[in-house]
Amino acid sequence: MDLLSFGKTGWGDELFYATLMTIAVAVTAMLIGFLFSLIFTPLKLSNNKFLNFIGNTYTTVIRGVPELLVIYLFFFGGSGAIMYVASIFGYFEYIEINAFITGSVAIGIISGAYSTEVFRGAIQSIDKGQFEAAKVLGVSKFVQFYKIILPQMLRLAIPNLSNVWQITLKDTSLISVTGLVEIMRQSYIAAGSTRDPLFFYCFAAVLYLMLTFLSMKLINRLEVKYSRGF
Amino acid sequence: MDFDLMITSLPKLLSAAVITLKLLSASLIIGLFIGFLFAVLRLNKNPFINKFAYGYSYLFRGTPLLVQIFIIYYGLGQIEWLRSTFLWVILKEPYWCAIIAFALNTGAYTSEILRSAFQTIKPGIIEAGKSLGISSKIILYKIQIPVAIRQSLPAYGNEIILMMKGTSLASTVTLMDITGVAKHIVSTTYKPLEVFLLAGGIYLFMTFIIHNLIKYLEKKYSFQ
């Protein structure tokens, strides 16, 4: 247990902060994913063939390519792409993007593809009559979305969103390849300096299990809250 | 965009795709056995066996695949007595470590898919079989298993695609699969965009093939 003590001799405090980093990346990525699904869900549901194509391309491509490759592309290609854009505006200095931002955006884009599918499915399974009734009652589009569609959609979407959250949480482990010190990276460092990889990787697994377990408990409470009245 | 580089890297990436496919097929075959075994254990009435199978699937579905590979590849080598057994012949090879990790991982997901397929079989079908005087063994082999397989096809198709994407993690334990080769080319040419996009294209093509294959099977075995 000495290995896990807090302070200079143990890895307890380092792993604690690494766990916070994992949570931070996962939450940021999930929120970025929501932003993406806010853009792409309407595209996927659109009647316009071109918009539809863009929406479908996003979800198909991202869900068909390994997460690790997307992260590599962002990490190694991201600063190059930004420098290229900057050079158009006459800025030629080296730009390095923060590993936290690159990682969260990369995982966020992946998470967004999954949540887009969830939202699309949830909206499509709302009874057509609900839309028609809102129209007949002369409810504005805005109120229709916030008061009629959104509450019903959330109830349907939450169980599947909890799956997306689990995927996102586990995907954050891949960011360790960029050097961002989250659970996986910290365990790698600790395993290297103590030559005890078995212990530290098993402990990392326990940390991930704890995170998934706790978040499931939390999501179950949300689920109960949003299914009231049904 | 450096198209020349893309053309010269294509054959290298395609030959790496063979490794990806080998990893994928080996882990899927072993994973299917594990999945079947644990699905049966999950449906067992004995609470101890039941809990054990649940624990297995919870453990492997609740932790990232990367941790699982690292535990098997870096962690197990640390156990002294393991190094003196015949298992060490397997565990010192990154190739087999990756396959073991992938197989255990996909086995956990497969067991969940099969379990839910078995549980959602309409009891009426089994009762019909019983009332026709068919033995319970034949009911299992000729009715329950085929129906369960058909029902689990769409979910299993997703699992194959997820596993194919998962094989990219083999590159973290020094294996030269598509991702590993792509990373190697990038480290010598410093052209990440071209190479990673090309590698992504190959993965996407494989996803497309698997997706259509499963769709075809679903159609072929659909209940009319």
pLDDT one digit per residue (tens) for chain A, 230 residues: 567 777 667 788 889 999 999 999 999 999 999 999 999 999 999 889 999 999 999 999 999 999 999 999 998 888 777 878 888 888 877 777 788 999 999 999 999 999 999 999 999 888 888 888 888 888 888 888 888 888 888 888 888 999 999 999 999 999 999 889 999 999 999 998 888 899 999 999 999 999 999 999 998 888 888 777 65
DSSP-assigned states of every residue in chain A: -GGG-SSSS-SHHHHHHHHHHHHHHHHHHHHHHHHHHHHHHHHHH-S-HHHHHHHHHHHHHHHHS-HHHHHHHHHHHHHHHHHHHHHHTT--S-----HHHHHHHHHHHHHHHHHHHHHHHHHHTS-HHHHHHHHHTT--HHHIIIIIIHHHHHHHHHHHHHHHHHHHHHHGGGGGGGT--SHHHHHHHHHHHHT-HHHHHHHHHHHHHHHHHHHHHHHHHHHHHHTTT-
Is the Cβ pair B203, A66 closer than 8 Å? yes
Which residue in the set B64, B74, B167 is minimally distant from A208, CB to CB?
A: B64
Q: Is A76 on the interface with B (CB under 8 A)?
A: yes
Q: Are the C-beta atoms of B164 and B177 separated by less than 8 Å?
A: no
**Roughly how many angstroms between the first and final C-alpha of chain A, as a whole number?**
49
User: What interface predicted TM-score (ipTM) does this complex get?
Assistant: 0.89
What tens digit of pLDDT does each residue of B47-59 get?
Answer: 999 999 999 999 9
Is the Cβ pair B196, A77 closer than 8 Å? yes
| Dihedral over Cα of A48, A113, A108, B209: its sign | negative
More confident residue, B136 or B48: B48
Whole-number Cα distances in Å, A38 to A32, A70, A188, B98 = 10, 21, 36, 37
CATH number where A127 lies:
1.10.3720.10
Is the Cβ pair A191, B74 closer than 8 Å? yes
Q: Is residue A1 part of a domain?
A: no
Find, among B12, B29, B2, B30, the residue nearest to B184 by Cα: B12
Q: Is residue A5 part of a domain?
A: no
Q: Is B65 on the interface with A (CB under 8 A)?
A: yes
Q: Is residue A18 part of a domain?
A: yes
Q: Is residue A8 part of a domain?
A: no
Query: What angle do the packed helices A12-45 and A197-226 form, to 10 degrees?
Result: 50
Q: Chain A partners of B70 at a C-beta cutoff of 8 Å?
A: 184, 187-188, 197, 201, 204
Give contacts of B 134-163 with A, CB under 8 A.
161
Q: Which one of A62, A73, A211 makes the best mutation probe of the B interface by having the most chain B beta carbons within 10 Å? A: A73
Which residue in the set B67, B179, B192 is minimally distant from A66, CB to CB?
A: B179
Q: How far is A48 from chain B (nearest CA, A)?
A: 24
For residue A77, give its domain range: 13-226
The domains of chain B are located at: 3-220
Is the Cβ pair B203, A213 closer than 8 Å? no
Is the Cβ pair A198, B79 closer than 8 Å? yes
Which residue in the set B67, B171, B193 is minimally distant from A208, CB to CB?
A: B67
Is the Cβ pair A176, B66 closer than 8 Å? yes
Q: Is residue A4 part of a domain?
A: no
Neighbours of A141 (CB within 10 A): 10
What tens digit of pLDDT does each residue of B138-179 get?
Answer: 988 888 888 888 889 999 999 999 999 999 999 999 999 999
Domains identified in chain A, total number: 1
Superfamily of domain B3-220: MetI-like (1.10.3720.10)
